[in-house]
């Protein structure tokens, strides 16, 4: 297949447009706020009985995120190996997309009476989102040449931020002005539940453009025998190859630690604002919008930095900024501080995510055709880091009684990530890309 085909690369980026509404509406804004409201007891406490366990609602939220990523981390290596062997990468991507989007739509029925079932749907939505991403990421080295990785990765994340902001604004209008949509003002639970439904429909619907144009079997593989058995053989082969790539292993270690901090901040920021700073919902929504809008430019700025100074140096800058963010989060006390910190988070959030993906793509051997299997190691690293990060965050908060201590502890993760980044060498990720310098535009 010809690489850098505009129709194919545009369709690939469009999946970020489709699925990023999950990250914004479900992970970061409306769902956590609605979840916290539903989880409140009549006496004002937030202790929840979930499957026989009594937990603080914020801790249960953190553990639900951890559980979903633990499940996908265990499944991902085997499913990607099967996908590589069978040439069915797009089929697996579609499967997880539909699990996630339909689970989001099912959250329309989230009430106090359906609390347990709704938390399970939230976990399934998270599994669908993270499961589809590993196959989506694996397409990058198959549809583009190496000099386009940073630019294309940044474009995908930026499209995701734009699309998710558009849907969020629509949903916010419905929540803040329900009468515009024929909804009685006293029916406060209906607008956010409709937001969950529209998120699922947006994700499902716009993904069809991606699935229509993405190639189904790039290398025209014709599987013989058992897919499962040969999938295990494929995974064993790729694992042996990874063992002989020291820079790839060092980068995965670096990514494991700094991503532990990045993703934990992203998943618990709204809960932190609600429980620690007692911020009103409007302030939290404004904060998330600030992050998303600044992140659009941030993704391109860091793509430009990587073109001038190399991927690793640009990532080092981003991690140092994240350490500063954690220190700032520990000391913030009010709404204005939260806005300022949000702007700083936005400036590095898109950059570190898009650069992490493109840097890994550059470290994969150019001769391989097992991209999904290679990206499963990236995905497992990401998911395990999220599991441990959110578990550590929840455990520290539960043990000390303060989420501020949990935020401060994240500095350790970023510090370890920085150390391992300094150990990653190699022409592809250290030296500026002259061609990329000319092509990346802000």
Write the DSSP symbol of residue 148. Answer: G
For 174-214, what is each residue's pLDDT tens digit?
A: 998 999 999 998 888 999 999 999 999 999 999 999 999 99
* C-alpha–C-alpha distance, residues 371 and 134, integer Å: 10
Closest CA to 61 of 22, 98, 21, 34: 34
Give the CATH number for residue 52.
Answer: 1.20.1250.20
374 in a domain, yes or no?
A: yes
Phi then psi for residue 130, to 5 deg, are -70, -30
Residue 369 lies in a domain: yes
- Indicate whether 367 pLDDT > 70: no
- For the ranges 131-135, 352-356, 382-386, the lowest mean pLDDT is seen at 382-386
Q: Which residues of 121-153 are buried (b: 16+ CB within 10 A; e: fewer)?
A: bbbbbbbbbbbbbbbbbbbbbbbbebbbbbbbb
Q: 55, 201 in Cβ contact below 8 A?
A: no
**In a domain? residue 226:** yes
* Res. 437: pLDDT tops 50: no
Q: Is the pLDDT of residue 396 over 80?
A: yes
Q: What confidence score (pLDDT) does residue 436 get?
A: 42
User: Is pLDDT of 255 > 90?
Assistant: yes
Contacts of 52 (CB under 8 A, 6+ apart): none
Q: Answer yes or no: is 68 within a domain.
A: yes
Look over the chain and give the mean of its residue pLDDT values, rounded to a whole number.
83
Look at residue 1 and tell me if it is in a domain: no
Residues of the domain holding 130: 6-439
With bands split at pLDDT 50, 70 and 90, how would you rate the model's confidence at 347? Answer: confident
54 strand-pairing partners: 49
Residue 335 domain-assigned (yes or no): yes
pLDDT of residue 22: 94
- Residue 251: φ, ψ to 5°: -65, -40
In a domain, 259, yes or no: yes
Pair 194, 44: CB distance under 8 Å: no
321 lies in some domain: yes
What is the model's pLDDT at position 309?
83
Phi/psi at 418 (5° precision): -65, -40
Q: What is the pLDDT of residues 31-44, one digit of tens each?
A: 988 888 888 877 76
Number of domains in the chain: 1
* pLDDT score for 409: 83
Tokens describing residue 207: 């993904």
Instruction: State pTM to two decimals.
Output: 0.78
Residues 264, 386 contacting (CB under 8 angstroms) = yes
Span of 16-20, 128-132, 309-313 with lowest mean pLDDT: 309-313
């Amino acid at each position: 297949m010809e690489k850098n085909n505009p129709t194919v690369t545009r369709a690939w980026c469009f999946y970020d447009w489709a699925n990023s509404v999950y990250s914004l509406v479900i992970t970061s804004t409306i769902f956590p706020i609605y979840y916290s409201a539903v989880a409140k007891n009549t006496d004002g406490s937030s202790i929840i009985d979930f499957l026989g366990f009594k937990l603080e609602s914020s801790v249960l939220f953190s553990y639900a995120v951890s559980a979903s990523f633990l499940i996908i981390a265990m499944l991902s290596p085997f499913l990607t190996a099967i996908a590589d062997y069978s040439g069915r990468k797009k089929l697996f991507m579609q499967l997880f997309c539909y699990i996630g989007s339909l689970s989001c739509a099912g959250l329309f029925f989230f009430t106090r009476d359906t609390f347990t079932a709704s938390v399970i749907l939230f976990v399934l939505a998270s599994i669908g989102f993270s499961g589809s991403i590993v196959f989506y990421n694996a397409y990058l080295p198959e549809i583009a040449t190496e000099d386009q990785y940073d630019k294309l990765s940044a474009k995908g994340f930026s499209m995701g931020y734009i699309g998710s902001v558009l849907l969020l604004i629509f949903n916010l209008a419905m929540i803040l002005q329900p009468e515009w949509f024929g909804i009685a003002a006293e029916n406060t639970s209906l607008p956010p539940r409709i937001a969950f439904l529209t998120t699922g429909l947006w994700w499902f619907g716009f993904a069809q453009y991606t699935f229509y144009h993405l190639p189904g079997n790039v290398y025209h593989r014709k599987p013989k025998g058992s897919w499962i058995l040969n999938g295990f053989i494929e995974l064993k082969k790729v694992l042996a190859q990874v063992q002989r790539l020291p820079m790839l292993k060092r980068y995965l270690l670096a990514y494991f630690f700094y991503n532990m901090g990045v993703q934990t901040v992203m998943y618990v920021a709204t809960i932190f604002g609600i429980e620690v700073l007692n911020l009103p919902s409007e302030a939290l929504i404004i904060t998330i919008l600030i992050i998303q809008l600044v992140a659009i430019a941030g993704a391109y700025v860091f793509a430009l930095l990587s073109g001038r100074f190399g991927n690793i140096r640009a990532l080092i800058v981003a991690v140092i900024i994240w350490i500063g963010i954690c220190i700032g989060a520990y000391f913030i006390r009010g709404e204005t501080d939260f806005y300022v910190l949000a702007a700083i988070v936005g400036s590095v959030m898109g950059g570190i995510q898009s650069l992490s993906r493109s840097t890994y793509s550059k470290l994969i051997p150019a001769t391989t055709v097992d991209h999904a299997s290679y990206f499963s190691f990236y995905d497992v690293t990401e998911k395990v880091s999220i599991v441990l990060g959110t578990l550590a965050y929840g455990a520290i908060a539960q043990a000390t009684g303060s989420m501020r201590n949990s935020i401060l502890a994240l500095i350790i993760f970023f510090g370890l990530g920085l150390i391992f980044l300094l150990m990653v060498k190699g022409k592809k990720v250290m030296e500026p890309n002259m061609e990329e310098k000319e092509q990346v535009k802000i």
